[in-house]
Amino acid sequence: MPDIIQLLPDSVANQIAAGEVIQRPASVVKELVENAIDAGATEIKVHIKDAGRTLIQIIDNGCGMSVTDARMAFERHATSKIRSVNDIFAIRTMGFRGEALASIAAIADVEMRTKQHDEEVGTFIHISGSKVIAQEPVSCANGTNFMIKNLFFNVPARRKFLKPNTTELKHIISEMQRVALANPGISFSLYNNQTPIYELPASNKRLRIVAIFGKSINPSLIPVDTATSLVKVSGFIGQPKQARKTFGEQFFFVNNRYMKHPFFHKAVMQAYEKILPPDTIPSYFIYFDVDPAEIDVNIHPTKTEIKFENEAAIWQILQASVREALGKFNIVPSIDFDQAGSVEIPMPLKDFADVKIPEIKVDPTYNPFVQKTPGRNYSPVNHASRPSVDRNLEHWQKLYDDTANSNPVSQASFFPEPVQSEPASREDSFAGKNFIQFKNKYILTPVKSGLMVIDQKRAHERILFERFMQVLDNQEIASQQQLFPETFDLNASDATLLVSILDDLKALGFDIREFGHNTFIINGTPGMLSAGSPREIIESLLEEFKNSSGDLKERAREKVAVSLAKASAINYGQLLKPDEISELIDSLFACQTPNFSPTGKKVLSIMPLDDFERMLK
């Protein structure tokens, strides 16, 4: 029998190895951008054509390579980043396997121009399918410029399995997002067929997140910051309200490297427990800094799955950090209102065996937010029908006495609930607590830790917004017919805008019809709005809508709700009666996100007691 085992030629071995590292154009982008980062670049430009099928060009201003290194770089296991196995445990660079360039050169046509900063001339190398086609001196800029053409030209099977351009482009964008978020101090740009997708100047983490995901994310970012000897956890998490039903804004980084970590994801999700709308995932951008010896980045060829030495401990720290951040920003309501006299719960000191665990009965129809006496509404809001506000009550209920159900309420006029059961008495609610309206703009009320200041307009916007969203989600239409239908004209662009949001307005209870050329007729308005001319509300709604920042059709309904809330909320300068204030505060704290207005402005703030003491020193 003849011997049959043969060594594979390098080119074939490289092609096979390439399969592990380079699955698609996005992998090339990732590897080359990481190399540029390792080379100390402060500016990295990526140009692609046809989602990377025809061209991927990466230009960096990093250290460049010497003539010999330029040639060596394409050899398998050629790396400048480690010398011995032990170095792996102290790795701070993105690469170290020395595989990427060899792999890419095996399955594409590669041109590289590179020059070190102190050199006069640079080096040009052309390699195609692992064959060196040319190497010569070239005059070029400092740094390195890679052009990868015809990816997978010699691996038809791979080329065939590439997805449509839109999909491949999405992968590239997502790689760019990861690497740009991991390195906010480096400037990045990405162009597809000359069209800019990202132009990100060097900045900090927060600005980088905003530059990538849009201004609207900014107000919802809550900083996370915990330093322990084992790990430093920093970055931002999103407000529960902003959580989406789809993945897309969840990022973990370790030592400036993006990583996937399903187990740590659970830690974050647990920290958000009970405060997320159902089936949603909060945004997070969480950066871990650990001693490189703590992690093993070597377990995966693309280095995205990372093993931690002290995984359980870091899990705990992560969860606590997220909890703390949520608590600090009062997302998990944690304000303790001052009560006139605290309630002592007597504890039986003997017969422990007989102590029964108290049963907690939750009355789902319990509503502490209705008042005993009928009062005039302070706002153009007349809640003929009103969605339930019990989402957040669990937390806020704790603030009140447990005397629910003791006083049946005969009439409830402010935000009446469509429930038949006995709502709680007014004493359970904010009434009886101290507050004053200040400058017809703010409401001041003492809380345990100091003095809480509430912005009346923003508070009302928040209340209305959540209600409108709920109406939109539940499709509960509560329209009130106008006695005298109103007609009005709009200019062409406002008319187009109005037509485009007409369906959402209908869902909110507006009965508006187009009545000839740019003329509309309002037959009915949401039951929730009673005062104010419907035409004026529509006009200011359109104004708000035009001015509201942000995007896209998917958010259109939210924008309608925001705009309507802003257009119909009580304004500054409006004097409020005590029961109206009380109602406002109660309704605010029944909201899911009481701390922020629908456009992300602060609704309230607490001036700490210490500040008063300091002020009077």
Q: Which of Mg ion, ligand ADP, none has residue 561 at its interface (CB below 5 to 8 Å by kind)?
A: none
Phi, psi of 269, deg, nearest 5: -60, -40
Q: How far is the CB of 253 from ligand ADP (least distance, A)?
A: 18
Among 302, 269, 307, residue whose Cα is nearest residue 288: 307
Q: How far is the CB of 444 from Mg ion (least distance, A)?
A: 59
Q: Please list the residues that pair with 57 across neighbouring strands.
A: 47, 147
Asked if residue 538 binds ligand ADP (CB under 6 A), the reply is no
Phi, psi of 210, deg, nearest 5: -65, -40
**What x-and-dash track marks residues 156-195 binding ligand ADP by CB under 6 A?**
----------------------------------------
Restricting to residues 31-60, name those near Mg ion by CB under 5 A: 35
Distance separating alpha carbons of residues 416 and 404, to the nearest angstrom? 16
For 208, the enclosing helix (H) or strand (E) is helix 205-213
Return the residue of 65, 182, 209, 233 that touches ligand ADP, per CB under 6 A.
65
Distance separating alpha carbons of residues 514 and 489, to the nearest angstrom? 10
Applying CB under 6 A, which part among 57-65, 203-211, 331-339, 382-390 lies near ligand ADP?
Answer: 57-65
Contact at 8 Å (CB) between 233 and 224? Answer: yes
Q: How far is the CB of 200 from Mg ion (least distance, A)?
A: 21
Q: What is the size of the binding site for ligand ADP (CB under 6 A)?
A: 23
Distance separating alpha carbons of residues 418 and 161, to the nearest angstrom? 57
Restricting to residues 82-101, name those near ligand ADP by CB under 6 A: 95-101
Return the residue of 18, 29, 39, 567 that touches ligand ADP, per CB under 6 A.
39
106 or 314: CB nearest Mg ion: 106
Restricting to residues 497-526, name those near ligand ADP by CB under 6 A: none
Spatial strand order of the sheet with 284-289 comes to: 221-227, 232-238, 284-289, 250-254, 257-259
Full DSSP string of 466-531: HHHHHHHHHT---EEEEEEEEEEE--HHHHHHHHHHHHHHHHTT-EEEE-STTEEEEEEEETTB-S
Q: How far is the CB of 241 from Mg ion (least distance, A)?
A: 40
Restricting to residues 99-128, name those near Mg ion by CB under 5 A: 100
14 or 525: CB nearest ligand ADP: 14
Asked if residue 412 binds ligand ADP (CB under 6 A), the reply is no
Return the residue of 14, 17, 28, 60 that touches ligand ADP, per CB under 6 A.
60
Q: Which of Mg ion, ligand ADP, none has residue 79 at its interface (CB below 5 to 8 Å by kind)?
A: ligand ADP
Strands 284-289 and 250-254 turn out to be parallel
Distance separating alpha carbons of residues 175 and 212, to the nearest angstrom? 12
Asked if residue 333 binds Mg ion (CB under 5 A), the reply is no
Asked if residue 466 binds ligand ADP (CB under 6 A), the reply is no
Q: How far is the CB of 154 from ligand ADP (least distance, A)?
A: 19
Asked if residue 301 binds Mg ion (CB under 5 A), the reply is no
Cα 531 from chain centre: 36
Q: Which residues bind ligand ADP (CB under 6 A)?
A: 31, 35-36, 39, 60, 62-65, 73, 78-81, 95-102, 144
